[in-house]
Chain A
Amino acid sequence: GAVVSQHPSRVICKSGTSVKIECRSLDFQATTMFWYRQFPKQSLMLMATSNEGSKATYEQGVEKDKFLINHASLTLSTLTVTSAHPEDSSFYICSARSRGLNNSPLHFGNGTRLTVT
């Protein structure tokens, strides 16, 4: 089945630094990838939709200058948390859908646990 790889799985960084999270579709091409954020015991909140070759679409309330998204190829999207603060500590998950299959299942990465100290 389709596999989405997310890296790193855990990262601890100091306040003020930037962290990059990668999301790769390993065996399919993904024109669209989604980035979610999940707080403890809460559901996934969509942060942004990443489209290959174009700018990401951010949800209301998500700062695009703080959460930089790049979708440079059909198999890779990156999320960079810039100038991280402790309140950015969360679980970040990416997902991807196969190219051209708008009704196909979403496949998720294993998530990245970000802790900002």
Chain B
Amino acid sequence: KQEVTQIPAALSVPEGENLVLNCSFTDSAIYNLQWFRQDPGKGLTSLLLIQSSQREQTSGRLNASLDKSSGRSTLYIAASQPGDSATYLCAVKSQNRDDKIIFGKGTRLHILP
């Protein structure tokens, strides 16, 4: 059974710093891994999708890496801004037939102005 863990659960950093959010998964047989952002009381916004054959994806100040063999992904945020404050969720789609996506519990990020 696939389990997804995100560390830390919460993080506060001063504006301008670079930071890394971590995601680990127990079953390395995955189709893809997706990082989302969720603002309070809102739905999810897709940030980056990494296919199992890829090592990383970049979008603006965001870079996501994937090490499938070790069951890890990181989301790197450069030059953090107060607007980056949100909960960041990673989700894994396993290589099975049930098409389910398993989410981590998220990291609540607060960027201090």
Contact = CB atoms under 8 A, between A and B. Distances in A.
Given A32-B99, A105-B49, A42 B43 contact: no
B44 interface: yes
B99 A109 contact: no
Interface string A106-117: 111111010000
B51 interface: yes
Taking chain A's interface residues, is the majority helix, strand, or loop, or is none over half, making it mixed? Answer: strand
Contacts of B103: 43-44
A80 to B, nearest CB: 20
Interface string A55-81: 001000000000000000000000000
B105 A42 contact: yes
B20 interface: no
Interface residues of B, number: 24
A57 B41 CA distance: 27
A49 B99 contact: yes
Interface in A74-117: 91, 93, 95, 102-111, 113
B106 A43 contact: yes
Query: Which 3 pairs, one residue from A and one from B, show the smallest C-beta to C-beta distance?
Result: A110-B43, A108-B44, A43-B105
19 contacts: A4-B43, A6-B43, A32-B99, A42-B105, A43-B104, A43-B106, A44-B44, A46-B101, A49-B98, A93-B44, A95-B101, A102-B31, A102-B99, A103-B31, A104-B49, A106-B46, A108-B44, A108-B46, A111-B41
